[in-house]
């Protein structure tokens, strides 16, 4: 058999190779690695174990990337280069301080961002060598401003930072803090990439609006047009003369009317300049009341539409000597110039083509008084026409109380006194097992700003059936009280109340009453229903708060439906009682006379009636009026007082109100 020594040696070498491979994987953080060539061997064929150590001493791991020393790999990263740049430029101390105290650096940045922004305008970068770059040299300019101004800061503890920037035309607008603005302004007239910079403070912000972004040629043209306008303005009569512009030597010299398109742009430019001369619309309105556009060869007002947009409050306008042929050429001004009082259209073809054009102009301009110097309507007529187009409130004629045999009057005089004093007895006398009661609380009603806040709503809210707030069918059904027992449970939770006496304080109530038909007959004898009364009362009452022991005011509206009682019970019953509560608010005085007495009658005459009517005649008139109308004696007297005891007039007023209802 062949000797095994050599094989044993080879196996050992193989084991060493595997061990070396494992060590290599361990150093490379494991995972799959590329197959590498065979390691170095010595003259005997064994692996050279010192080779790896040699490489580690000189270059580290053979798989490692270059260290950025410029001799191998890609070199230093961008971040590393930036750090190195600051270290070599003397910023090491500032960086160190930020690292040691990051909270202070954060506070400094927050303080800088919270400072007011000052805007600067920079000119000159477009003429620099940097303008050929992709962004027109903007980024290089901003870096230049930050770098140069930072170098000039006496204290090296901060950098100048440009917060905002915006390039507009030949200018760059930057927003910086006030302290940084002072440093950047020191760079005025500095050279940037071969171009001289002009840096000034501006009020145009970032230049999104304003004339500061215009080129110098545009600014010069604007100045010339403004001078021409000033020569055409007469301050004594507040007149701006824009007539015969095509013959103005200054405008012709500027080439403003070389062609139609240029002429239209010129006029728009003049209006824009006019608009920019005034800080407020009121100042413009007070300065210019009249404009003359005569003799400009205008055939359609669309060519001068900007006049209506710039001067909507114009009072006088001269359009004479133009080429307006019909009303269609003026239609674009329809609905504008709402304050126009005088218009001149002489010398236009429309005078011959449409002789009735003034009538159309009067319709289009609501305050137009004169056309071509002819007064067509007065200011009073205009005011009357405008008033006729305004919405009118629904006429109010006071309360309408049509009682039947004094039933409603007796009921009201007894009801509120009993409600305050003895509610159980009131239920027993006027309600039955079919009577219905519901309560609605309005917590958002209009309140008297001078009145104290209303008492607490909590005693009423559990039973409130406000249909706007209560939308569930079951909740609405539960809050509808039917029968004396259910109504008593609700009323017992109410606070104590005190209503004003109707006899002594009729002015604190508004009461209406009218007959109705079709009420259910409790006896069942009349299938078609019986007659009844519907009474509506608006008023107020005092309320005692049990918890605070204080008194407060509350307003209410209450609607009753009265009908015949059940057999064996009271003759009158409350079929329905709807109560609405709101915060206290004063009622309108509807008890004033609706028919004004003659102007010559004195108050004493109005109260006592015309001469010749004694007390006996008054009583007779009261009785007769009450008999014919069904009113109570009190309301009959009020009706006669309103017409100065004119019996026939009282009947007329009563019948008018009856028809309206």
pLDDT of residue 158: 79
Which one, of 376, 371, 332, 367, lies nearest residue 351 by Cα? Answer: 371
527 with 616, same domain: the answer is no
Same domain, 107 and 240: no
pLDDT of 660 over the 70 cut: no
Task: Give a yes or no: residue 26 inside a domain.
Answer: no
The verdict on residue 608 lying in a domain is yes
pLDDT value at residue 365: 93
Residue 115 sits in a domain whose CATH number is 3.30.70.330
Q: Residue 111 has what pLDDT?
A: 57
Domain that holds residue 655: 603-660
Query: Which CATH number characterizes residue 461's domain?
Result: 3.10.450.50
In a shared domain, residues 208 and 231: no
Domain annotation covers residue 10:
no
For the chain, the helix, strand and coil percentages under 3-state DSSP, each to the nearest 5: 40, 15, 40
Residues 577, 433 share a domain: yes
How far, CA to CA in Å, does 324 sit from each of 30, 228, 301, 302, 525? 93, 26, 8, 11, 83
**Could you give the 3-state DSSP secondary structure of residue 549?**
coil
Q: Which residue has the higher pLDDT, 344 or 127?
A: 344
Instruction: Tell me the whole-structure pTM to 2 decimals.
Output: 0.41
- Same domain? For 324 and 415 the reply is no
Task: Identify the domain boundary among 185, 213, 241.
Answer: 213
Question: For the chain, give me the number of helices (H) and strands (E)?
Answer: 23, 20
* Domain identity same for 422 and 515: yes
Say which CATH number the domain at 649 has. 1.10.8
On whether both 264 and 338 belong to a single domain, the answer is yes
**Maximum Cα–Cα distance across the chain:** 170
Distance CA 215, CA 643 (A): 80
Residue 30 lies in a domain: no
Write the pLDDT tens digit of every residue in 319-343: 999 999 999 999 999 989 999 999 9
In a domain, 362, yes or no: yes
241 and 354 part of one domain: yes
Residues 192, 137: one domain?
Answer: yes
298, 319: one domain:
yes
> Do 635 and 587 contact (CB within 8 A), yes or no?
no
The answer to the question of residue 29 being in a domain is: no
Is residue 513 very low, low, confident or very high in pLDDT (cuts 50, 70, 90)? Answer: very high
Co-location of 245 and 306 in the same domain: yes
* Mean pLDDT of the region 461-468: 93
Domain assignment present for 296: yes
Q: Are residues 531 and 655 in the same domain?
A: no
Number of domains in the chain: 4
pLDDT-based confidence at residue 454 (cuts at 50, 70, 90) = confident
Give the mean model confidence (pLDDT) for residues 73-86: 57
Q: What is the CATH number of the domain that holds 375?
A: 3.80.10.10
pLDDT digits (tens, 9 = 90+) for 356-394: 999 999 999 999 999 999 999 999 988 888 887 777 666
């Amino acid at each position: 058999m062949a000797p095994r020594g050599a094989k044993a040696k080879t196996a050992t070498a193989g084991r060493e190779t595997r061990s070396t491979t494992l060590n290599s994987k361990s150093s490379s953080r494991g995972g799959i690695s590329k197959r590498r060539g065979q390691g170095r061997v010595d003259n005997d064929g064994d692996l050279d174990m010192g080779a790896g150590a040699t490489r580690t001493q000189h270059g580290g791991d053979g798989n490692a990337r270059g260290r950025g020393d410029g001799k191998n790999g890609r070199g230093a990263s961008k971040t590393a280069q930036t750090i190195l740049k600051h270290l070599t430029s003397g910023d090491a101390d500032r960086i160190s301080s930020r690292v040691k105290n990051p909270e202070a650096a954060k506070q400094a940045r927050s303080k800088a961002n919270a400072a007011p922004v000052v805007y600067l305008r920079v000119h000159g970068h477009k003429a620099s060598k940097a303008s050929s770059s992709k962004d027109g040299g903007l980024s290089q300019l901003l870096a230049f401003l930050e770098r140069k101004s930072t170098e000039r800061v006496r204290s090296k503890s901060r950098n100048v930072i440009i917060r905002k920037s915006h390039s507009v035309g030949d200018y760059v607008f930057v927003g910086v803090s006030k302290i940084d603005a002072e440093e950047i302004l020191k760079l005025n007239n500095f050279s940037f990439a071969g171009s001289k910079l002009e840096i000034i403070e501006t009020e145009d912000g970032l230049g999104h609006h304003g004339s500061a972004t215009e080129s110098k040629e545009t600014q010069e043209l604007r100045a010339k047009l403004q001078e021409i306008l000033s020569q055409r303005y007469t301050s004594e009569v507040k007149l701006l003369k824009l007539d015969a512009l095509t013959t103005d030597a200054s405008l012709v010299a500027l080439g403003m009317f070389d062609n139609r398109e240029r002429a239209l742009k010129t006029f728009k430019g003049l209006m824009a300049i006019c608009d920019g001369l005034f800080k407020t619309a009121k100042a413009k309105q007070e300065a210019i009341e009249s404009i003359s556009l005569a003799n400009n060869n205008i055939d359609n007002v669309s060519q001068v539409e900007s006049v209506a947009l710039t001067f909507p409050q114009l009072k006088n306008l001269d359009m004479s000597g133009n080429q307006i042929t019909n009303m269609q050429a003026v239609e674009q001004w329809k609905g504008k110039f709402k304050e126009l009082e005088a218009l001149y259209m002489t010398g236009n073809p429309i005078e011959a083509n449409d002789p009735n054009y003034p009538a159309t102009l009067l319709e289009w301009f609501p305050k137009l008084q004169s056309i071509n110097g002819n007064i067509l309507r007065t200011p009073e007529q205009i005011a009357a026409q405008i008033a006729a187009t305004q919405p009118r409130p629904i006429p109010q004629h006071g309360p309408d109380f049509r009682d039947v045999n004094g039933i409603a009057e007796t009921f009201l005089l007894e009801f509120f006194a009993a409600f305050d004093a003895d509610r159980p007895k009131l239920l027993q006398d006027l309600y039955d097992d079919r009577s219905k009661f519901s309560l609605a609380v309005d917590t958002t009603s209009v309140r008297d700003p001078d009145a104290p806040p209303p008492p607490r709503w909590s005693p009423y809210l559990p039973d409130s059936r406000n249909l706007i707030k209560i939308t569930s069918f079951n909740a609405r059904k539960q809050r509808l009280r039917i029968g004396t027992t259910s109504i008593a449970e609700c009323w017992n939770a109410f606070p104590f109340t005190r209503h004003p006496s109707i006899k002594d304080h009729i002015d604190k109530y508004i009461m209406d009453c009218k007959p109705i038909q079709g009420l259910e007959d409790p006896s069942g004898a009349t299938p078609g229903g019986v007659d009844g009364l519907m009474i509506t009362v608006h008023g107020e009452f005092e309320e005692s708060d049990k918890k605070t022991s204080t008194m407060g005011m509350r307003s209410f509206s209450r609607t009753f439906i009265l009908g015949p009682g059940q057999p064996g019970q009271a003759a009158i019953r409350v079929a329905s009682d709807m109560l609405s509560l709101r915060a206290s608010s004063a009622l309108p005085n509807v008890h004033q006379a609706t028919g004004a007495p003659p102007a010559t009658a004195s108050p004493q005459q109005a109260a006592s009636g015309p001469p010749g009517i004694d007390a006996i005649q008054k009583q007779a008139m009261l009785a007769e009026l009450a008999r014919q109308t069904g009113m109570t004696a009190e309301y009959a007297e009020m009706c006669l007082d309103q017409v100065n005891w004119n019996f026939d007039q009282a009947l007329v007023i009563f019948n008018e109100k009856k028809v309206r209802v």
